Amino acid sequence: MFSHSAHILAQGFGSGLSPIMPGTAGTLFGWLTFNLFSVRWPELFTPLNWGIIIVLGFFIGIWACAVTGKHMGVADHGSMVWDEIIAFWLVLLLVTPADFKTQCWAFIAFRFFDMVKPPPIGYFDRRYKGGFGVMFDDIVAAFFTLLAFALWRVL
């Protein structure tokens, strides 16, 4: 992880090195950091600033995941979880304000869409490769999570 700065980011500051379900570990890391930063420094981590961080994180993640995938010899290595972190930050930003129960349901829904990859998520996962592909399918999973929440709130 420390052989290149891109690896530190792509592997979620070590959360992606979990031997069991690294994507889930990365999402949990994202959940923890989102809440920790939002509570500890609310004047700095405003919704607008979170939006900027997420957009920048997406583009930096394309680079970090491309470099890490190349160095590891696997385009979308399981230890790369920056995509889950950024996508789940987006989910949390858009379901906020949310109590713990709502955040739990958001976590479950996001992990479902990210792991099962129903259409069209699976299509994007197979179609786009490299850093962009790693990052993009999780953004689509976040979109479907948010769509499920929107439908749930309407019904």
Q: Does residue 16 fall inside a structural domain?
A: no
Q: How far apart are CA 129 and CA 26, in angstroms?
A: 20
Domain that holds residue 145: 5-10+22-149
Question: Would residue 155 count as lying in a domain?
Answer: no
pTM of this structure: 0.95
CA 113 to chain centre: 12
**Confidence class for position 98, pLDDT limits 50, 70, 90:** confident
Residue 154 lies in a domain: no
**What's the total number of domains in the chain?**
1
pLDDT at 133 over 90: yes
Residue-level length of the chain: 155
The answer as to whether 125 is a domain residue is yes
What does each C-alpha distance from 152 to 9, 31, 56, 67, 149 come to in angstroms? 34, 21, 30, 39, 5
Give pLDDT, residue 3. 85
The answer to whether residue 15 sits within a structural domain is no
CB 91 within 8 A of CB 118: no
pLDDT at 153: 84
Average pLDDT, rounded, for the chain: 95
Instruction: Identify the band that residue 1 occupies on the pLDDT scale cut at 50, 70 and 90.
Output: confident
From CA 101, how far away is CA 149, in angstroms rounded? 13
96 three-state secondary structure: coil
Residue 48 is assigned to a structural domain of this protein: yes
Does any domain span residue 143?
yes
